[in-house]
């Protein structure tokens, strides 16, 4: 009997350990290790003229205290540039410990290793840093302007990188456009803020010359190869494990944060396991942020609302350093057109250094800004021309696929949409919303004096980029199947969805498929869990590896069963001859048979071992050329290009004009990420994405004072939404398969977040009948927009 789990709501195999307190997070390893803590710069920008660690060294329980002067060789160099680009004018990354200049409040200056974290923090208080404070570039507009304070002493301005691109003939299109507008849109800084902070635990075994690092990272393979290089160690002697990771959302994939280098370095130098579990204050001050951008858009529109020309000149706040190169603003620029066919589009992005925490992708990664800008443009054009914005959207939709956007994608190739059906997606959303009834309800509410508004947002999300991911699959003698992928899950259920793919292909029970992720001891090559890519890239690698194992199993079984490989059938954890189910071999026994050796325990294995003579019978040697022992394969999948999910959101909001509170009465999501492996998991990803989007639209922002001090580095002041603020999300799906990969899937991890700021802004704008051009919208800003209080 053939069963199929692909597309089913399979409950997760990860859950049991996580629900019973037996999860294995980074902080759970090495309970007896020494603990590290870091002195971080008090100033946003300062020369470091001296660090006195003597008093800290004397604290009982302190093992050692390190500053830049203690680092040598590669450890004294600047940390690597993760994503180089020839458009990067000033590639600046930080030192593991600041050398002589601190460029943001929170930059690490010194490291303490002590018996425990309590003692380590005692020692921090006794370290005296001599600062010579310098002017700080903080405000993005000001930092980009003339005579700005300089973020780096050795630069003459704050420009990190500049990219311009154009498709079509923008100037000619503007010249011919009957309506031309100029608008400015802003989005403030925010952060991923997983509930588990970062953490690194390192143990160096001198006798074995082995380094084992547990790292709450989204990309252990890169950390492993990087550490091997830094230490001059054979990569086989360095292993990095990302165990259960308590949320990532982008912030845990940097390669390298200073602590990822320093903790293993200290463990080796001191000869003891060293553990660093970031605390929340450190996370605010020392883990990357995102989102700060300012867009100046120039729009040319036809009478019917078609966008004839669009120019976007925008600033991106890269923070103090740019280890992620220009990837964020490039994503913004490439994804700005969204589902719309912009024949004439030009952008100029300027990435600007400020003396603030560096930025790197946070769920959505440049796309929430893109959707916000584009959807505000659509709404404002519609408003100016007195048109229904849904009609304007439909008129501008991309209708044919593949669609060439005409600008460069984040992977360096052209931006090409593989598939989609935008009119159908929008129609599906509107059906769930019941547009006519909703409009009637709004009219009624307004007649009662209530302030309500309806907003829409649309997005396209490029997912599943290369270069590659791998998977290894092997059938074990007990009939279980071991699967390994290089990169871990931070909650995305990889153990479950990959097992679904394998169980389907081999027709083994789901429970017999055991997936390990994020352990370089199991699979050394890989790229990372980010950019909504793992299900697509690693998922297809799992399929390829399983297909290869299946081929091997069929070949061995065919010889034993004395039929052609085409004539065997996989069913119920066994292989049988087509049409003769009684002539069968369990997969476990087959695995045993395929490995000509002797280690059989138990009758089934003994039986299998006997069969191994048959398995390779007729060859010139025990293991014939071209075959290998066991049923195992490692395969890699490299996509030709990204695959583009899309969707539409709608929000119905009510505003309290006395307090500025925005109540989301309804939130409706349409989403299309191609074929769905597990709808339950996809819905969960959307829910979480929308929650972060609502946070970004109404609550969350990282606030800096003029001197570059963070003003809200606590959970009391950085406001993440709770269950009480979240509306119930109504979710509908369409499935437009991707033609670009064997599974037909697209990524979904970031989708939920992308259009939320756009949607909420449009809803508030509709309610107040005024443009909303700055996100997030705090209650105070709502009242300011409504003319109820003076702008502060």
Partner 1 sequence: MKPAAFEYLAPRSVEEAVALLAERGEDAKVIAGGQSLVPMMAFRLATPAALVDLNGVSELDHARVDRDTLVLGATARHRSVQELAGLRERCAMVAEAVGLIGHPPIRNRGTAGGSIAHADPAAEWPALLLALDGEVDAMGPGGRRTIAAADLFRTYFTTALAPDEILTEVRLPLPAGAVGSAFVEVAQRHGDFAVAGAGALMIVADDGSVADARLVLIGVRDTAVRSVAAETILRGASPTDPVLDDATNAIRSEIDPVSDVHGSSAYRRRVAIAVARRAVTLARDRAHAAVA
Partner 2 sequence: MDVTLSVNGVSRTASVEPRITLADVLRDELGLTGTHVGCEHGVCGACTVLLDGRSVRSCLLFAVQAAGQEVTTVEGLAAADGTLHPLQKAFHDAHGLQCGFCTPGFLMAARELLDENPSPTESEVRTWLSGNLCRCTGYQNIVDAVLLAAERMRGAP
- Cα gap 439→416, rounded to integer Å: 36
Q: Report 675-734 residues binding partner 2 (CB under 8 A).
A: 680-681, 683-684, 686-692, 714-716, 720, 722-726, 728-729
* Three-state secondary structure of 56-78: HHCCCCEEEEECHHHCCHHHHCE
Candidate segments 232-240, 333-341, 384-392, 781-789, binder of partner 1 by CB under 8 A: 781-789
Q: Report 205-264 residues binding partner 2 (CB under 8 A).
A: 244-249
Q: Do 649 and 476 form a contact (C-beta atoms < 8 A)?
A: no
Question: Does the footprint of partner 1 cover residue 680 (CB under 8 A)?
Answer: no
- Cα gap 90→339, rounded to integer Å: 33
The conformation of residue 35, written as its DSSP 8-state character, comes to E
| Cβ neighbours, 10 Å, residue 739 | 12
User: 121 or 548, CB closer to partner 2?
Assistant: 121
Question: Does the footprint of partner 1 cover residue 789 (CB under 8 A)?
Answer: yes
Question: Does the footprint of partner 2 cover residue 61 (CB under 8 A)?
Answer: no
User: 417 or 718, CB closer to partner 1?
Assistant: 718
Q: Do 257 and 111 form a contact (C-beta atoms < 8 A)?
A: no
Q: Do 457 and 758 form a contact (C-beta atoms < 8 A)?
A: yes
Of all residues in the chain, what percent are helix, strand and coil, respectively (each to 5)?
30, 25, 40
User: 496 or 612, CB closer to partner 2?
Assistant: 496
Q: How many residues bind partner 2 (CB under 8 A)?
A: 60
- Cα gap 712→705, rounded to integer Å: 10
User: 44 or 277, CB closer to partner 2?
Assistant: 277
User: 118 or 628, CB closer to partner 1?
Assistant: 118
Instruction: Report residue 73: phi and psi, to 5°.
Output: 50, -140
Q: How far apart are the first and last CA of the chain?
A: 70
We find the least distance from the C-beta atom of residue 277 to partner 1, in angstroms, to be 10
The conformation of residue 199, written as its DSSP 8-state character, comes to E
We find the least distance from the C-beta atom of residue 715 to partner 2, in angstroms, to be 4
User: 22 or 661, CB closer to partner 2?
Assistant: 22
**Binding track over 80-119 against partner 1, x by CB under 8 A:** -------------------------------------xx-
Candidate segments 143-151, 211-219, 514-522, 717-725, binder of partner 1 by CB under 8 A: 717-725
- Cα gap 539→788, rounded to integer Å: 53
Q: Report 180-209 residues binding partner 1 (CB under 8 A).
A: none
User: 486 or 698, CB closer to partner 1?
Assistant: 698
- Cα gap 777→636, rounded to integer Å: 45
- Cα gap 701→712, rounded to integer Å: 9
Out of 699, 755, 768, 777, the only residue in the binding site for partner 1 (CB under 8 A) is 699
**699 interface partner picked from partner 2, partner 1, none, CB below 5 to 8 A per type:** partner 1
**659 interface partner picked from partner 1, partner 2, none, CB below 5 to 8 A per type:** partner 1
Q: Do 470 and 538 form a contact (C-beta atoms < 8 A)?
A: yes
We find the least distance from the C-beta atom of residue 772 to partner 1, in angstroms, to be 17
Strand partners, 238: 211
- Cα gap 700→776, rounded to integer Å: 7
Question: Does the footprint of partner 1 cover residue 658 (CB under 8 A)?
Answer: yes
Q: How many residues bind partner 1 (CB under 8 A)?
A: 32
List the 631-637 sheet strands across, edge first.
513-517, 481-485, 469-475, 631-637
Candidate segments 130-138, 255-263, 489-497, 782-790, binder of partner 1 by CB under 8 A: 782-790
Q: Do 649 and 668 form a contact (C-beta atoms < 8 A)?
A: yes
Q: Report 180-209 residues binding partner 2 (CB under 8 A).
A: 192-197
Q: Do 332 and 364 form a contact (C-beta atoms < 8 A)?
A: no
**638 interface partner picked from partner 1, partner 2, none, CB below 5 to 8 A per type:** none
Residues that bind partner 1 (CB under 8 A): 117-118, 121-122, 125, 279-281, 658-661, 699, 703, 711-712, 714, 716-717, 719, 721-722, 724-725, 778-780, 783, 788-790, 792
């Amino acid at each position: 009997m053939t069963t199929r789990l692909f597309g089913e709501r399979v409950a997760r195999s990860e859950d049991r350990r996580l629900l019973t307190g037996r999860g294995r997070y980074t902080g759970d390893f090495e309970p007896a290790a020494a603990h590290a803590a870091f002195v971080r710069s008090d100033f946003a920008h300062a020369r470091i003229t001296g660090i006195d660690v003597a008093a800290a060294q004397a604290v009982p329980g302190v093992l050692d205290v390190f500053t830049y002067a203690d680092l040598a060789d590669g450890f004294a160099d600047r940390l690597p540039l993760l994503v180089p680009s020839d458009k990067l004018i000033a590639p600046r990354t930080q030192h593991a410990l600041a050398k002589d200049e601190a460029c943001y409040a929170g930059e690490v200056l010194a490291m303490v290793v002590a018996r425990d974290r309590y003692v380590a923090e005692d020692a921090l208080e006794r370290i005296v840093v001599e600062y010579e404070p310098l002017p700080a570039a903080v405000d993005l507009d000001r930092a980009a302007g003339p005579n700005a304070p300089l973020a780096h002493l050795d630069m003459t301005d704050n420009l990190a990188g500049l990219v311009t691109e154009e498709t079509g003939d923008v100037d000619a299109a503007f010249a011919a456009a009957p309506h031309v507008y100029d608008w400015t849109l802003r989005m403030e800084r925010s952060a991923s803020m997983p509930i588990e902070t970062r953490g690194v635990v390192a143990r160096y075994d001198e006798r074995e010359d082995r380094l084992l690092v547990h790292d709450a990272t989204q990309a252990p393979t890169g950390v492993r190869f990087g550490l091997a290089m830094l230490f001059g160690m054979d990569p086989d002697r360095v292993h990095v494990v990302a165990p259960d990771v308590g949320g990532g959302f982008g912030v845990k994939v940097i390669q390298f944060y200073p602590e990822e280098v320093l903790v293993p370095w200290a463990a080796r130098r001191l000869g003891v396991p060293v553990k660093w579990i970031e605390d929340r204050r450190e996370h605010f001050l020392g883990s990357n942020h995102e989102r700060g951008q300012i867009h100046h858009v120039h729009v040319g529109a036809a009478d019917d609302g078609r966008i004839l020309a669009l120019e976007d000149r925008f600033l991106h706040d890269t923070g103090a350093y740019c280890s992620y190169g220009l990837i964020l603003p490039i994503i913004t620029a490439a994804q700005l057109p969204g589902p719309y066919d912009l024949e004439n589009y030009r952008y100029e992005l300027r990435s600007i250094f400020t003396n603030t925490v560096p930025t790197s992708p946070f769920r959505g990664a440049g796309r929430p800004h893109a959707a916000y800008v584009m959807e505000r443009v659509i709404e404002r054009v519609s408003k100016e021309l007195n048109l229904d914005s849904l009609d304007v959207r439909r008129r501008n939709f991309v209708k044919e696929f593949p669609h060439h956007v005409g600008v460069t994608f984040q992977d360096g190739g052209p931006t090409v949409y593989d598939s989609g059906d935008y009119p159908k997606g929008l129609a599906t959303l509107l059906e769930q919303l019941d547009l006519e009834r909703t409009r009637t309800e709004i009219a009624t509410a307004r007649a009662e004096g209530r302030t309500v508004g309806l907003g829409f947002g649309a997005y396209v999300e490029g997912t599943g980029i290369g270069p590659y991911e791998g998977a290894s699959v092997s059938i074990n003698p007990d009939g279980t199947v071991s699967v390994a992928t290089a990169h871990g899950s931070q909650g995305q259920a990889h153990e479950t969805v990959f097992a679904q793919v394998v169980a389907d292909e081999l027709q083994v029970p789901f429970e017999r498929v055991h997936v390990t992720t994020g352990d370089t001891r199991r699979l050394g090559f890989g790229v990372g869990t980010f950019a909504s890519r793992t299900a697509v890239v690693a998922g297809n690698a799992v399929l390829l590896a399983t297909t290869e194992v299946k081929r091997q199993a069929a070949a061995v079984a065919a010889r034993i069963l004395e039929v052609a490989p085409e004539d065997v059938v996989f069913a119920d954890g066994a292989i049988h001859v087509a049409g003769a189910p009684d002539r069968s071999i369990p997969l476990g026994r087959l695995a045993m048979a395929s490995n000509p050796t002797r280690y059989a325990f138990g009758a089934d294995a003994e039986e299998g071992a006997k069969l191994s003579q048959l398995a390779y019978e007729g060859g010139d040697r025990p293991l014939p050329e071209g075959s290998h022992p066991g049923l195992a394969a490692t395969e890699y999948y490299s996509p030709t290009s990204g695959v583009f999910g899309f969707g539409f959101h709608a929000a119905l909001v009510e505003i309290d004009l006395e307090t500025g509170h925005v109540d989301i009465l309804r939130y409706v999501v349409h989403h299309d990420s191609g074929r769905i492996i597990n709808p339950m998991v996809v819905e969960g990803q959307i829910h979480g994405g929308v929650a972060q989007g609502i946070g970004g639209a109404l609550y969350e922002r990282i606030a800096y004072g003029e001197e570059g001090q963070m003003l809200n580095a606590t959970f009391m002041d950085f406001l993440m939404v709770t269950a009480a603020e979240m509306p119930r999300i109504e979710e509908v799906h369409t499935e437009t398969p991707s033609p670009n990969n064997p599974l037909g899937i697209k990524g979904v991890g970031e989708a939920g977040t992308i259009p939320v700021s756009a949607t909420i802004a449009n809803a508030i704008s509709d309610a107040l009948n005024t443009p909303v051009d700055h996100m997030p919208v705090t209650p105070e800003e709502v009242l300011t927009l409504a003319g109820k209080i003076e702008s502060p």
